[in-house]
Amino acid sequence: MMDRLREGVNSIAVKIILGLIILSFVFAGVGSYITGGGNNAAAKVGDREISRGEFEQAYQNERNRMQAQLGDYFSTMLGDPAYVESFRKSVLDRMINDLLLELHAESLGLRISDAQIRTMILEMPQFQNAGQFDQEVYQAALRRAGFSVDSFAEYMRRDLMRNQLLEALQGSEFSLKGEVEAQGKLITQTREIRSITLSAAEFAEKVELTDEEINTYYTENPQRYTRPEQAKVSYLELNAAAMKEALEISEEEVRQYYDEHLDKYSSSEQRKVSHILIQGDDEVKAQAILDELNSGADFVTLAAEKSDDFGSAEEGGSLGFIERDVMDPAFEDAAFALQNVGDVTGLVKSDFGYHIIKLDELQDAVAKPFEAVEAEIKQELADQQAVDQFYELQTELERVAFEYPDSLIDAAEAINGTVESTDFISQADAPDVLKTPAVMQAILSPEVREDGLNSEVIEVAPEHVIVVRVEETRPETVLPLAEVQEQVSIQLARVKGEQQAIELADELVAALNEGNQSILEDKAVSFGELETIDRGSVLAGTVFAMMKPAEDKPVYAQAKDQAGDILVVELTNVKAEIDSTYNDQIGAQLERTSSQQDLASVVQILRQNTDIEYYIVSQ
Amino acid code (one letter) for 290: L
What is the radius of gyration, based on Cα positions, of the chain?
Answer: 37
The pLDDT assigned to 437 comes to 85
Amino acid code (one letter) for 549: P
The pLDDT assigned to 581 comes to 66
Q: Which residues of 16-39 are buried (b: 16+ CB within 10 A; e: fewer)?
A: eeeeeeeeeeeeeeeeeeeeeeee
* pTM for the whole structure: 0.47
CA 108, 112, 113, 116 torsion: positive or negative?
A: positive
Q: Tell me what percent of the residues of the chain surpass a pLDDT of 90.
A: 45
The pLDDT assigned to 446 comes to 93
The pLDDT assigned to 587 comes to 66
The pLDDT assigned to 5 comes to 36
Nearest to 107 by CA among 41, 54, 46, 155: 46
Q: Is 201 helix (H, G, I), strand (E, B) or coil?
A: helix
The pLDDT assigned to 368 comes to 79
Amino acid code (one letter) for 328: D
The pLDDT assigned to 67 comes to 84
The pLDDT assigned to 554 comes to 93
The backbone torsions φ and ψ at residue 315, rounded to the nearest 5 degrees and listed phi first, read -105, 25
The pLDDT assigned to 591 comes to 66
Q: Give the residue ranges of the chain where pLDDT is below 50.
A: 1-38
Distances (CA, A) of 549 to 183, 382, 466, 554, 604: 21, 73, 65, 5, 44
Q: DSSP secondary-structure letter at 281?
A: T
